[in-house]
Amino acid sequence: MAKSKEELLEKLSECVVEMEDEEVVDVANEYVESGYPALDGIMEGLVDGMNKASDLYDEEEYFVTDLLLCSDAMYSGIDILKPHLPVEENKGEKLKIVIGVVEGDTHDIGKNLVKIMLDTAGFEMYDLGRDVPLDNFVDKAIEVGASLICMSTLMTTTMDGMRIVIEKLKEKGIRDNVKVMVGGSPISQKYANEIGADGYSANAVGAVKLAKRLAGIS
């Protein structure tokens, strides 16, 4: 008997929490073959599991090594589900986005999810990775002619890097041409306003809507 969507979402979440990077592939395939939406599988299954694993880390039940294995399982599931996300065709030239985690921070799970979502939404992505020197955001935006920079951090100690990048864009005289989006657990709309960012999103789905609005295509 076919499993319900809820059962499979719960199983996807469980596979991530329990670091089952092989079993998650089987479950993700079963989910796709059952015709359930890939986005829900990622957000309500895999990401839900990663959030639970993060809670266990906060409660000191999991170590960093455990979190890394959980994220491996999450990415294994995403590899199966991502090709089934509805791809939006942007008419004309693709808008270019530079994305990365600011210098001093190596937490990139949230950034990677946002990148996947923006990629499937039809944007041309330039991923600088994590612990990105602040000048690199500006230099890459100039090099590729990006219309948007997305920055994230999970650490309060590295938040100010976002403000510095915005200042560097002003110094180069291109601030008016490049929109700036920020995100990450210590970031808020209030902080985004304070540093002069163009927008803030709390999650990957919201980031797509925000990017489209800032790019003038929604």
Q: Which domains does the chain have, with CATH numbers?
A: 7-84 (1.10.1240.10), 96-215 (3.40.50.280)
Q: List Cβ<8 Å contacts ≥24 apart for 54-61.
A: 56/17
In this structure, the number of other CB atoms found within 10 A of the CB of residue 9 comes to 22
Segment 2-30, tens digit of pLDDT: 799 999 999 999 999 999 999 999 999 99
Segment 136-160, tens digit of pLDDT: 999 999 999 999 999 999 999 999 9
Q: Residue 112: enclosing H or E segment and its boundaries? A: helix 109-120
Question: What is the pairing mode between strands 96-101 and 148-152?
Answer: parallel
Read off the tokens for 70. 């959980």
Phi then psi dihedrals of residue 3, to 5 deg? -80, 150
Segment 20-76, tens digit of pLDDT: 999 999 999 999 999 999 999 998 999 899 889 988 988 999 988 898 899 999 999
Task: Name the band, by pLDDT with cuts 50, 70 and 90, for residue 113.
Answer: confident
Read off the tokens for 7. 């059962």
Type of residue found at 115: K
How large is the C-alpha radius of gyration of the chain? Answer: 18
